[in-house]
Amino acid sequence: MLAWSSLIIVGKYLVWRLSAVLFTLILPAVAHACMTSAGTDLRDIFSAKAVVVGKVSKYEIVGDARRTIRNYARFEIETKEVLYGEAATSLVVTWDNSTFAEPETIEMEDNYIFALRDPKSPGLPLRGTSATIFPNPEPDKLTILQAPCAGPFIFPNKGNVARAIRLIFDGEGDPRLKADVLARFLGMAGDGRF
């Protein structure tokens, strides 16, 4: 009888140790990620201070390379066109991706559409189940618009999303009504489909 109770105690101890080891191995990888991803809502674009078309240069990850929980990206956008708001011809912006860690490098040969928000403005609503949200590390720079647990507002300058964004800001009609209709049409109404 003593042998069985000893095996049970040893088994519980091994399960606890294995759980602790797995937790410490997995935690750094998921600490920056959301429990579930939320859909991008095109209507969030009205939280942007500026929407620009441009190319990325001087992309870098800022922070301790061994810790992904507080790294962020900083890069320059060579502005080719301003669709909304005001923007300089060259902008240094930040991106603190709430959904996943930022890519080590970014290859954007073509122009992209970037929605940028003022880091001092209120954040977008949480649509996922949870997220770790830190204050902007460089509050003097515009940052990529991104709701917690949703995708960033970085889109190729061609295709349906680009056409929709241009239509929203074309100066004709009600932009919010157009954004609502286009968000639903494109599956970008924050319901997790995009």
The predicted model gives 166-176 an average pLDDT of: 96
Q: Quickly state the pLDDT bin for 22 (edges 50, 70, 90).
A: very low
Quickly tell me which residue has 């590390």 as its tokens.
Answer: 137
Does residue 15 surpass a pLDDT of 70? no
The predicted model gives 171-183 an average pLDDT of: 95
In this prediction the pTM is 0.76
Quickly tell me which residue has 């860690």 as its tokens.
Answer: 101
- Give CA–CA dist 99/37, Å, rounded: 7
Confidence at residue 68, expressed as pLDDT on a 0 to 100 scale = 54
Write the pLDDT tens digit of every residue in 50-60: 999 999 999 99
Q: How many CA atoms lie within 13 A of 110 on its CB side?
A: 8
Write the pLDDT tens digit of every residue in 114-153: 999 998 887 776 666 655 667 778 889 999 998 887 889 9
The predicted model gives 164-184 an average pLDDT of: 96
Confidence at residue 154, expressed as pLDDT on a 0 to 100 scale = 94
Write the pLDDT tens digit of every residue in 54-92: 999 999 988 765 555 568 889 999 999 999 999 999 999
- What kind and span of H or E run contains 30? helix 2-30
